[in-house]
Amino acid sequence: MPRPTNPKLRRAILDVARRVLIEQGYPALAMRPIAREVGCTATSIYLHFDSKDALIHALIDEGMELLGRELRAALAAGATPRDRLQRLARAYLSFGLENPEYYEIMFMLHPSRMERYPAENYRRARRNLDFFHQELAAALGPAAADRDLRAEATLLWTSLHGTVSLLIAGRIDAAIDRDKLVELAVAQVLRSLSPPPLLPESDAARN
Amino acid sequence: MPRPTNPKLRRAILDVARRVLIEQGYPALAMRPIAREVGCTATSIYLHFDSKDALIHALIDEGMELLGRELRAALAAGATPRDRLQRLARAYLSFGLENPEYYEIMFMLHPSRMERYPAENYRRARRNLDFFHQELAAALGPAAADRDLRAEATLLWTSLHGTVSLLIAGRIDAAIDRDKLVELAVAQVLRSLSPPPLLPESDAARN
Amino acid sequence: MPRPTNPKLRRAILDVARRVLIEQGYPALAMRPIAREVGCTATSIYLHFDSKDALIHALIDEGMELLGRELRAALAAGATPRDRLQRLARAYLSFGLENPEYYEIMFMLHPSRMERYPAENYRRARRNLDFFHQELAAALGPAAADRDLRAEATLLWTSLHGTVSLLIAGRIDAAIDRDKLVELAVAQVLRSLSPPPLLPESDAARN
Amino acid sequence: MPRPTNPKLRRAILDVARRVLIEQGYPALAMRPIAREVGCTATSIYLHFDSKDALIHALIDEGMELLGRELRAALAAGATPRDRLQRLARAYLSFGLENPEYYEIMFMLHPSRMERYPAENYRRARRNLDFFHQELAAALGPAAADRDLRAEATLLWTSLHGTVSLLIAGRIDAAIDRDKLVELAVAQVLRSLSPPPLLPESDAARN
DNA sequence: CATGAATGAGCTTTCATTCAT
DNA sequence: CATGAATGAAAGCTCATTCAT
């Protein structure tokens, strides 16, 4: 389904859609308002995107690639595995906070919208998260032997995601300094390099 | 304006609304589909709730109270601060995973819909998070002196939230064991009791 | 259809309905808002009135009777036919301006609402206008011989109605003094006692 | 936001709306019934009018312009101020009786619906009434010196309005000949050129 | 490559009214 | 004498989408 057409209009549509999304939320992400802001007709959008879902998916793709770029840049700048891990975390947080529109559509959309997201894109997108796994392994070295690094890397990601998404959603108490929270989140990632804590006994009895 | 009315119908409406929300997402949370499933007319819903927003707020309130109950139970069961902290984390994760409909509506709805959530309820809801602060302080004791516990407690919460929300949304790779991830999330909370890691020098140079 | 029931509630309903009518207009004259203000249920209104139309008709009847009372009082106070005519006009204007809710529902409602107004009430209501005819005849005496007094009396009424209704509707330029306009309207009624003007010739040629 | 679009449909909508208004009253002036009669969907109406109010305002504008045209034609045809005044009155009455749908929407709609009528249009509309003032002044000449012509011109208008509106509303006794009433109304306007009557003494004592 | 016109389904909400209690 | 619960219809309006041009 090659769809070259006027690339400028395509860009404009994507940009407006992103802005509307963050400013007014998903329910307001309607074709006609987008068209009005872009300065074309709603019909024109359909020349560039098969459907509203396709438009959203294009935004997701763009966002994933942008994130990938930034994570790779972080990797390249790091001297040691530990340094790279820290940079990865910081880059992830920065990306989310500086591109909330992308972030929201990439990671905060309801699954009912994601179901239609082509599986192949999905897989490609997930690759971004492998960086965490890879650097965690490198940083731990032989100490990684008896740890489930895939799960640990996932945890790093989900933790960062929680911080980003709640900050974006404005759910964090205004008394909390955003930069401070970011620093703590980065530190938490580095903490995961030290050996896991012993769970209290009460826990062993549980479940 | 009497508002108690038939409590069974009220319950049914809330239950269906919760289910629709998780199954089909917010945009599908419409009055008529809910009514159809409940087996009443859309008009009847308005006998029990002033508006769609009021219905959603009622769900949030219910969820917040349920969460509060579970967190308090966890606290009560813990022997030491460290134990209580670990139980709090586990209870939070369990609540989210076992009540995804509540969790989604409580913490994952777009803020544009949340603005009208009455400020007072909001404050009451946030109190649930104070437990983390309180137990963190108790567990650290004098070591808490030069740490920003409010921010650290918030980080605990956001990290747990990230794990819960991505699990709920089905965004976690199927190869990752859900229980394993939960255990790691709990362990991460306990790790926050140890002294913070030294950030690599590369960081000091940054911005 | 005797409908005694609680007369206090009946009164309250009528009073609130009247107020709502003038404050928010006919489209807002809904049963439930009335009930809410009265402090009863919508159902209760139906114990006192068969329908919304019946409620409106009751208001019209009340208004007509009130108007009749005031016109009769004006008549009684007048010494001469000319004086009585002038008092009638003034009383009519005063009634409308002081009871805009009644006036609006009596004379400004769309005919589609009036169709259902029982014919008998209608006739009774119209009797109020006979006063104008009667006093006009008395004031003119023998001079009335070759004039169509029924039509002239009707004109007096329609002219007064125009002034009242536009004042009530707020359609009169704010720069026009309300009292001045009323005085002019009264004077216009008295002017109708003098012989009719000769129409310019151009008129004879018309149509 | 291009708005010319298919002008035939626009016309058809306006025409049907006008007819529905007079036949069934304002509450029946709903988008879907109009659409049904026009033979399009309710949505299509929104291609031509921003809202129901905008549709109504368009009708008012049309009516005001039509009235203006007819009043200006009357003025042009009159030889003397007195003649012109008489023609103005007759033209006003004719307009109302021949275009009851326009007249009703222009002057008989409840103010609560009128508030949103753009102020600028409103002012423009009111200019139609200046013709009465202007010709009254011309006809009276120096005799106008100690009279409030603005108020008197307003009274002419309100009186004519009363006659038109009650005739339109079918509130006039069937025994009254419509043409006769119109002639009397015109005559009443001319009578206003003679000096004002002395009010009876009883009036001086009043209030 | 783009538009204007149109559609049908759906939205939240309010309406007048009824009926068993 | 009055209520709570419910209903079906309809309101104004917006949605994603299509199609002829």
Ranges of CATH 1.10.357.10 domains, chain D: 63-194
CB contact under 8 A, C87 and D190: no
Q: What is the DSSP letter of A5?
A: S
What long-range pairs does C193-196 form, CB within 8 A, spacing at least 24?
C193/C82, C193/C85, C193/C136, C193/C139, C193/C140, C193/D197, C194/D191, C194/D194, C194/D197, C195/C143, C196/C147, C196/D187, C196/D191
- Residues lining strand E at under 7 Å (Cβ) are A 4-6, 9, 40-44, 47; B 28-33, 42-43, 46, 51-53; C 28-33, 42-43, 46, 51-53; D 2, 4-6, 9, 40-44, 47
Which chain C residues are within 8 Å of D83, Cβ to Cβ? Answer: 200, 202-203
User: Which range scores top for mean pLDDT: A1-5, B2-6, C5-9, D142-146?
Assistant: D142-146
Ranges of CATH 1.10.10 domains, chain D: 1-49
Instruction: For domain A62-193, give the fold.
Output: Tetracycline Repressor; domain 2 (1.10.357)
pLDDT the model gives residue B145: 82
**The amino acid at C156:** L
pLDDT the model gives residue B8: 83
Taking the mean position of all CA atoms in its chain, how far away is CA B112? 18
Instruction: Please work out, in degrees rounded to the nearest 5, the angle formed at the alpha carbon of residue C66 by the alpha carbons of C81 and C9.
Output: 170
Average pLDDT, rounded, for chain B = 87
Q: Is residue C121 within 8 angstroms of chain D, CB to CB?
A: no
**The amino acid at C94:** S
Which chain B residues are within 8 Å of A83, Cβ to Cβ? Answer: 200, 202-203
pLDDT band, residue D207 (cuts 50/70/90): very low
Q: Is residue C26 within 8 angstroms of chain D, CB to CB?
A: yes
Q: Which residue of D156, D158, D173, D193 to mutate against C (max C Cβ within 10 Å)?
A: D158
pLDDT digits (tens, 9 = 90+) for C9-56: 889 999 999 888 777 777 778 888 888 888 888 899 999 999 888 998
Q: What is the DSSP letter of C172?
A: S
Nearest-Cα distance to chain B for A5, in Å, is: 31
Tokens 């009164």 appear where?
A: C11
Whether the CB-CB separation of D133 and D150 falls below 8 Å is answered with yes
Q: How many CA atoms lie within 13 A of B72 on its CB side?
A: 8
Q: Is residue C207 within 8 angstroms of chain D, CB to CB?
A: no
Instruction: For domain B1-49, give the fold.
Output: Arc Repressor Mutant, subunit A (1.10.10)
Specify which residue's alpha carbon is closest to the C1' of nucleotide E19.
C43
pLDDT the model gives residue D1: 39
In sequence order, what are the residues at sequence separation of 6 or more whose Cβ sits closer than 8 angstroms to the Cβ of residue D142? none
Nearest to C188 among D148, D157, D159 (CB): D159
Listed residue (D110, D6, D107, D113) closest to D54, CA to CA: D113
pLDDT the model gives residue D111: 63
Q: Is residue A185 within 8 angstroms of chain B, CB to CB?
A: yes
pLDDT digits (tens, 9 = 90+) for D30-46: 999 999 999 999 999 99
- Residues D118-144 have a mean pLDDT of 86
- Residues A122-146 have a mean pLDDT of 87
**pLDDT exceeds 60 at position C1:** no
In sequence order, what are the residues at sequence separation of 6 or more whose Cβ sits closer than 8 angstroms to the Cβ of residue D74? D84, D87, D88, D90, D91
In sequence order, what are the residues at sequence separation of 6 or more whose Cβ sits closer than 8 angstroms to the Cβ of residue D102? D18, D59, D62, D63, D66, D67, D95
Average pLDDT, rounded, for chain C = 86
**pLDDT exceeds 70 at position B121:** yes
Report the distance from CA of residue A6 to the C1' of nucleotide F21 in Å, as an integer. Answer: 20
pLDDT band, residue D74 (cuts 50/70/90): very high
- Residues A197-202 have a mean pLDDT of 62
Nearest to B162 among A112, A162, A190 (CB): A162
Note the CATH number of domain D63-194: 1.10.357.10
CB contact under 8 A, C80 and D200: yes
Average pLDDT, rounded, for chain A = 87
- CB burial string D97-123: b at 16+ within 10 A, e below: bebbbbbbbbbbbbebbbeebeeeeee
Specify which residue's alpha carbon is closest to the C1' of nucleotide F4.
B5
Ranges of CATH 1.10.10 domains, chain C: 1-50
Identify the architecture of domain A1-50 in CATH.
Orthogonal Bundle (1.10)
pLDDT band, residue C2 (cuts 50/70/90): very low
Ranges of CATH 1.10.357.10 domains, chain A: 62-193
CB contact under 8 A, D202 and C87: yes
pLDDT digits (tens, 9 = 90+) for B7-66: 788 999 999 999 888 787 777 789 999 999 899 999 999 999 999 989 999 999 999 999
SS3 C102: helix
pLDDT digits (tens, 9 = 90+) for B129-148: 899 999 999 999 888 888 89
Chains B and A touch (3+ CB pairs under 8 A): yes
Instruction: For domain C61-194, give the fold.
Output: Tetracycline Repressor; domain 2 (1.10.357)
User: What Cα–Cα distance (Å) separates residue C174 from each residue in B120, C128, C185?
Assistant: 46, 31, 17
Nearest to A155 among B110, B184, B199 (CB): B184
Q: Is residue D128 within 8 angstroms of chain C, CB to CB?
A: no
Q: Is residue D52 within 8 angstroms of chain C, CB to CB?
A: no
Note the CATH number of domain B62-194: 1.10.357.10
Instruction: Please work out, in degrees rounded to the nearest 5, the angle formed at the alpha carbon of residue B155 by the alpha carbons of B150 and B161.
Output: 130
Q: Which nucleotide has the least CA–C1' distance to C46?
A: E17
- Contacting chains of C (3 CB pairs or more, <8 Å) are D
Listed residue (A96, A114, A111) closest to A178, CA to CA: A96
User: Which range scores top for mean pLDDT: B123-137, C5-19, C82-96?
Assistant: C82-96
Specify which residue's alpha carbon is closest to the C1' of nucleotide E2.
A44
Whether the CB-CB separation of A83 and B204 falls below 8 Å is answered with no
Ranges of CATH 1.10.357.10 domains, chain B: 62-194
Chain F nucleotides with an atom closer than 7 Å to a protein C-beta? 1-20
* Conformational region of residue C141, where left means phi above 0, alpha means psi within -120 to 50, and beta covers everything else: left
Q: Is residue A98 within 8 angstroms of chain B, CB to CB?
A: no
Which chain D residues are within 8 Å of C77, Cβ to Cβ? Answer: 202
**pLDDT exceeds 50 at position A123:** yes
Nearest-Cα distance to chain D for C72, in Å, is: 17
- Residues B89-93 have a mean pLDDT of 98
Which chain A residues are within 8 Å of B197, Cβ to Cβ? Answer: 187, 190-191, 193-194
pLDDT band, residue A8 (cuts 50/70/90): confident
**pLDDT exceeds 70 at position D83:** yes
**pLDDT exceeds 60 at position B207:** no
- CB burial string D58-68: b at 16+ within 10 A, e below: bbbbbbbeebb
Q: Is residue C185 within 8 angstroms of chain D, CB to CB?
A: yes
pLDDT the model gives residue B123: 76
Q: Is residue D73 within 8 angstroms of chain C, CB to CB?
A: no
SS3 B19: helix
User: Would you state the structure tokens that stand for residue C173, as one six-digit string?
Assistant: 């330029």
Ranges of CATH 1.10.357.10 domains, chain C: 61-194
